[in-house]
Structure 1
Amino acid sequence: MGFFAARQPILDKSKSLFGYELLFRTSLENVFPDVDQEKATSKMIESLQFDLGLDRISDGKLAFINFTEKTLLGGYPELLPKQKVVIEILETAKPTKALYIALHSLHKKGYMLALDDFIHDSRWEPFYKLIDIVKIDYLESTPQEIYETIAAVKKYPNIKLLAEKVETNKEFKEAVELGFDYFQGYFFSYPEVIKSVTLTPGQTSIATLMNKVAEESPDFEEITKLFELDVTLSFKLLRYTQSAMFKRRNPIKTIKQAVLVLGKTELERFVGLLFSAQFSGDKPQELIRLSMQRAKFCELIAPYCSQRNNSSSAFLTGMLSLVDAMLDADLIAVINDLPLSEEIKSALTKKQGWLADCIELCQHFEKGDWQQMEATCERINIPYTNILEEYETAGVWAEEKLDELG
């Protein structure tokens, strides 16, 4: 049974990353069909320890992991390191004496505990002193249920509130005002307030470079001239080529030499890093990571779409797919102002073409919507298992590049 995991970011009030909820599924099977839940959980833990790697998939942040009542009673959480996980108690669990004893033991051993999709029920009140986080479904819960739950846990200072399924900045601000501490969802990947935006000369230069590098046969003379017109970009290019990964015997003496040393593939990545830095401003770092992961994922699946020679266009499309959130601007207005091919513009503004399919797959993966992802793969004739592996590869690449961005 092969395991794959998506992860959903959990941010704090300052929109800094606090942790990830890990969303698991088996390869080519829906959830855990015909598999005993305990056995499935055991396999999942084994996969975390030996295959997926807890540190790698959660990037050193807390990993929120769901456990059923049966697996909690079976002591499965203790197979994972207490300093790296938050044990989520699924809403299907019943507040029994046996469960209290199991959770009390985990609490005493230092594990963080969270009630998932929780609505206040007086039967759970004896458990509150053991709980660190209460997760409330902000989308599905009624205002009355949210208010009652907040009021019930307010007298327990050990409990932090986490709002799940926060999908807009308006909802984020409302949740902050209600007293929530953490927020799960992709609200940060949408513009906060749509406003008119004029690109700076530096942003325009980078957008032009991205488009030129994405061409099937880039004109390196023209790319060199674009770098030479911007002193800051030239400096960053020369510094980047000094990296130990570019082995060479002679020092770089000209911009053209630096461009040629990098070549098309590495230039594409370098300009992508510049884009993230220039366009993201003071946005959450998770937004930058997400745009970079989308870019790499789109590049990796281009060959599966019979577009092996267009992987650079795919990379660029993925990178630009969140530019509206980076600039707090209307996506169509921004994209139409950029020097991009009609194929890329059509994908981003009209959701048409194979590049739009790449972005759609990204979005399904981010939400852990396995059924829709599988349906999209079937529709566009892409092998499903390969896509899962490519997304994991893209995630590792994005983390590495984000570290380089510093």
Structure 2
Amino acid sequence: MSESAADQLFLGRQPILDRDQQLFAYELLFRSGSQNFADVTDGVQATATVIANAFTELGVAAALGKHRGFINVDEQFLFSDMLELLPRQAVVLEILETVPPTPAVVERCRALKAAGFTLALDDVVQLEPAFAELLALVEIVKVDIQPLSRVQLMQLSMKLKPMGKQLLAEKVDSREQMEQCLKLGFTLFQGYYFAKPTIIAGKKLDHSQLSLMKLMGLLLGDADTSELEAALKPEPGLTVNLLRMTNSVGAGCTERITSLGHAITVLGRRQLQRWLQLLVFASGKQNATGNPLLLMAATRGRLMELLADELSPGDSGLADRAFMAGIMSLMPALVAQTMEEIVAPLGLAGDVRDALCHGSGRLGALLRITESSEGGNMQDLNAALAELPGLGAKAINRAQTMALQWANEIGREQSL
């Protein structure tokens, strides 16, 4: 079934963190089909319309929760009337470096700021006199640190700080870059160091994490409740947390839960499996739900589960395995082990193992859809979609916003 041009939009996202490496916002990566923004006025307007709809029909605002969404704005989009339909309290308009600082552009930005929009200037690498008026209007300056030497970055930050702007370091790829930007007064950060799995520092699995993964294996093997209870008993901290969660937000029932067996029955196996998988990533850290890797893992799992249901409605087994593949896909980043080492003792289903280790099968294609949408890689996304003709843009958009909303709700529940 063909979809209209206005529906051909995919939503990607990249975390933006504060100085404590807690989630501050997402940069939302909107892409129309295999293109970026269309090269005709109608195409720009169509893109603007879809973005506006994304905050209403698709519920992106609810999915973002308390976090804002940074949206790239090129010159054509800047002058589109549709831009003003966006919820100004939920977005940051990121003026691209390709937008010329003409009097008309400056006046348009001044009007948008007066209307209550927050403006950011993208990919700043030097202060050009021509951009002085535009720079005065924005609240956030995104500095592309990649082409700058340490001295150049220091000099640029020293010029920007007296202007009272919030400085965002983008394309941060290493801990060294992160620490330098912290010292220079940057307050926001974005880049593969925080969000790309192969770069995040990891550690070996500790005893508690091994117990969690063994429990997940038992659940996937449909073990008896007595076996699950026996595996939980050596972990008192985990047991207390399970009882606490089941008694509060997990169960939604009036009776008090007093035994492990009762808690497992009331919570349900699918919810228990999800909780255990998320705990593996939390690693016992305080406020772990602010960790971008944990949020990515939760979102991946839920997105793949929803897309699997689109492919095979009513097949809960496929949906469960898709969730497992999604959330396990980031494990190498957390524990500094290869995927093969991680999955070996778990007894995973063949299609889950093949997706994680080889990227093959339907679950492998779903995983590539998820990974490519995170970074707005349209070439990889379209290639993966070609393997799964049952999925369309509308389904992916809807699933992405629902997945992000679910991950945010998990964070709110675990902070209670």
Pairwise TM-score range, normalised by the shorter structure? 0.7 to 0.9
Does 2:103 correspond to 1:84? no
Does 2:142 correspond to 1:135? yes
Residue 283 of structure 2 is matched in structure 1 by 278
Amino acid at match of 1:15: Q
1:374/1:384 contact within 8 Å kept = no
Structure 2 distance, partners of 1:405, 1:73, is 42
Q: TM-score, normalised by structure 1?
A: 0.83
Q: Secondary structure at the match of 2:92?
A: strand
Residue 133 of structure 2 is matched in structure 1 by 126
Structure 2 distance, partners of 1:219, 1:363, is 35
C-alpha change, 1:203 and 1:99, in structure 2 (3 Å) is same
Structure 2 distance, partners of 1:169, 1:357, is 32
1:66/1:89 contact within 8 Å kept = yes
Amino acid at match of 1:311: A
Q: Secondary structure at the match of 2:143?
A: strand
Does 2:274 correspond to 1:269? yes
Q: Secondary structure at the match of 1:113?
A: strand
2:298/2:327 contact within 8 Å kept = yes
Amino acid at match of 1:372: D
Further displaced range: 19-28 or 334-343: 334-343
2:41/2:76 contact within 8 Å kept = no
Kindly report which structure 2 residues correspond to 1:187-198, keeping only aligned pairs within 5 A, or say none.
Answer: 187-189=193-195, 190=197, 197-198=204-205
Q: State the percentage of identical aligned residues.
A: 30
Residue 296 of structure 2 is matched in structure 1 by 290
C-alpha change, 1:260 and 1:370, in structure 2 (3 Å) is same
Does 2:123 correspond to 1:117? yes
Q: Deviations over 1:377-403 (max 9, x none)?
A: 213445133333323222222111121
Does 2:235 correspond to 1:230? yes
Residue 66 of structure 1 is matched in structure 2 by 72
Residue 368 of structure 1 is matched in structure 2 by 376
Gaps of 5+ in 1: none
1:268/1:312 contact within 8 Å kept = no
Further displaced range: 51-60 or 358-367: 51-60
Q: Secondary structure at the match of 2:93?
A: strand
Does 2:316 correspond to 1:311? no
Q: Deviations over 1:319-347 (max 9, x none)?
A: 222234334x2344861675343745554
1:277/1:405 contact within 8 Å kept = no
2:366/2:384 contact within 8 Å kept = no
Structure 2 distance, partners of 1:152, 1:178, is 8
Structure 2 distance, partners of 1:34, 1:278, is 49
Q: TM-score, normalised by structure 2?
A: 0.81
Deviation at 1:96, TM superposition (A): 1.3
Say which of 217, 224, 240 aligns to 1:211: 217
1:45/1:79 contact within 8 Å kept = no
Structure 2 distance, partners of 1:162, 1:382, is 40
C-alpha change, 1:218 and 1:390, in structure 2 (3 Å) is farther
Residue 402 of structure 1 is matched in structure 2 by 411
Deviation at 1:10, TM superposition (A): 0.9
Q: Secondary structure at the match of 1:126?
A: helix
Structure 1 distance, partners of 2:125, 2:249, is 54
Deviation at 1:254, TM superposition (A): 3.4
Structure 1 distance, partners of 2:158, 2:108, is 23
Q: CA RMSD in A?
A: 3.5
If asked which structure has higher relative contact order (CA below 8 Å, sep 6+), I would say 2
Residue 53 of structure 1 is matched in structure 2 by 59
Q: Secondary structure at the match of 1:197?
A: coil
Structure 2 distance, partners of 1:363, 1:393, is 16
1:188/1:325 contact within 8 Å kept = no
Residue 335 of structure 1 is matched in structure 2 by 342
Q: Secondary structure at the match of 1:135?
A: strand
Q: Secondary structure at the match of 1:399?
A: helix
Deviation at 1:204, TM superposition (A): 1.8
Structure 2 distance, partners of 1:197, 1:170, is 22
Further displaced range: 11-20 or 296-305: 296-305
Say which of 35, 39, 51 aligns to 2:45: 39
Q: Secondary structure at the match of 2:141?
A: strand
1:168/1:187 contact within 8 Å kept = yes
Residue 388 of structure 1 is matched in structure 2 by 397
Deviation at 1:172, TM superposition (A): 3.1
Amino acid at match of 1:339: L
Residue 265 of structure 2 is matched in structure 1 by 260
Aligned residues: 402
